[in-house]
Amino acid sequence: MNKKLLAQFKKTLTQKKASITNKLNSKKINENEIETGGDEIDTATQSTEREMQFELGGIDTRMMQDIDNALAKIEKNTFGKCESCGEDIAQARLEAIPWGRYCKKCQEEAEKNSK
């Protein structure tokens, strides 16, 4: 992969990481607001909302790990290679999901096995 393309992916990943960080930070503020929301709000509704927030946070946290992983691969010069078979990941695929770890074939294989 050429350096220009690599720099582009790095930029995309860095931006994505920043936007997730912002989202997670604003979520924390929302949680604090719920805590001080007073007694009149139904507590059952509160806990459901909070669970949903945790779940969403979980997805973001996982994506953060994948993005960090991808950024580390850029540093190590292994970005764009499938972590399972070592083949090059299709560029179109990387453009859609730059933090993807596997090529199409291995991803499909992994999804099949997880079902």
Q: Which residues bind Zn ion (CB under 5 A)?
A: 82, 84-85, 103, 106
Scanning the structure block, which residue is given the tokens 């979520």? 27
Q: Please state the closest distance from residue 86 (CB atom) to Zn ion, in A.
A: 7
Nearer to Zn ion, 4 or 112 (CB): 112
Q: Please state the closest distance from residue 89 (CB atom) to Zn ion, in A.
A: 8
Nearer to Zn ion, 64 or 82 (CB): 82
Locate 62 and state its tokens: 């996982």
As a whole number of angstroms, the distance between CA 57 and CA 48 comes to 14
Q: Please state the closest distance from residue 93 (CB atom) to Zn ion, in A.
A: 11
Nearer to Zn ion, 59 or 90 (CB): 90
